[in-house]
Chains A and B, each alone.
Chain A
């Protein structure tokens, strides 16, 4: 498994109605890696994540997860959707949301039992949300909601984590906590792919970066690919970004 790509995408095109959102993408995502997907609004970042899981609009191309098609490898992937994709008014508490990560394991027609609840509680503990387990989800802050989502993905015991803007609308402390969690996942040889918005933190957070704007602009190790030139090609001239190198320095 060592040399094999965690996710291998070849010739992927995705279209809503007739408008293509992603054009012939070729991409290899190595395992045990923390990968950021960046690009302007409407660049197809979320669409790429969905295409990997084959849940978005119709796509063509070949996607392999550890060398096998997605349908065979579904248990290896855990998804953290955008926060606004959820009906926050829905009557569930944090623990019940986390237990959803176990639904496939529980199987059709079966109920969530005490053992599953223990597992869910442990996942909540690992994101520091144990004391909020029985709180209704709409009564959590943005950062707390995001942590619940994360716990739900963790409980799936996946190899690959696909996260859609996990840092959107969360406070600084939660962002730090999430980053540490992601780094732990990588240390446990998990692959984490994150759609990200804040360019300044890219060099700090990610080993590799995928720069996307309908087509692939660049992909590779952050130190090599996240250059001013590529950012310019991805976002156009209007985007004012702190120089990546500077951002790196400020870390030290």
Chain B
């Protein structure tokens, strides 16, 4: 595993762990929710006081009804005498709340009925009480009353309520063949009674209030006349109705409720076990990935350290080879050349391994310095000449254009050139090779073309991948780590240029293009 992939592995290990933990959390929460059951326990309260209040209030309602009925009776008697005087009738009728119309019905009279509406017209209009089977005049909404009932005691006095479904509430007083029918608006009387209860309860509700509730007395519309305790937002557990002709009031009461959560054990245990398993797998896999990444880092670090340590003795070898070069006896010149080439090969290998380590650790950067690229290439070509000659490779060197100093990473160009020539040495024995350079004001181009066996089209894609070596050549006994072209290509890209395998009639041809914008300060 490389360092870049190792970093990727560390971040993906973190992501994977997070996903697994999130999943485990969801499973645990889901399991708890699914296994949870809510059991509600109701504790019934002692309601003696509420029942007593209900009875008292019912008695009070009856008392109020009787009182009202008494008023209506007296008013009806007065109105039976005053039917000709409308204004007096109005004044008499308005003394009692709830009367919306006064109707006079006559037993065998020339005009059988007279109506007096009080207040504003009501919508929808109230049907008028009548005795006529066939009405005269304009069509109107009527309520047929049975004269046999109303005038049963024609010689005396009779009173009664007419409270039938589908009809307005009416009360009549009949005296000597004249019946005064009072049409009553129930809601007005109900409101008046609610108003009375409001003040009446101030005293009477105390006994319930002491219990602390939650209890309330409500009108027919659910409005609280009196309440104690926190009224829950649910239907009451007990209703104590107070029923009257004019409306219904109720004493409502709630029991204490206790909600207790229980869990379905198999579901809960199963889901939690699954969550723990999931989290455990997450930690395990993540730790494994991190361990692998750490091992990779240690391996690269070790390679890096060893390569560094090799540099100083390598320098000493190279320097001392240079020192003794001139005093090597003729007979040993060729052996000396071999030693020198192998030392060069070894130092290139060290350099490639170090560069690869730095690439993998993401620490490889370019350092531009003033240099003459043509001279760098020439220097490398000179180093390779003896080795190329020995392998029967004829080298042609050409240059076009400028030879001036430019700003480039000299070490990187050296490494790229050496890697390209090293490939020629390995793979194109006994073949001509041409090393051509071209320098313009903003670009340096190096072409290395050999006439060796070349590279098959299928392999062209992967030759720039690290550790790639072409199989048939391994069998041919060619050594190498498979890093040269990969490093050369990467270095070229880091320098803002390209290294490509270009089409050639014979053999392999590589073209390096390096742009440069800066020129060294003069």
Do they bind each other?
no
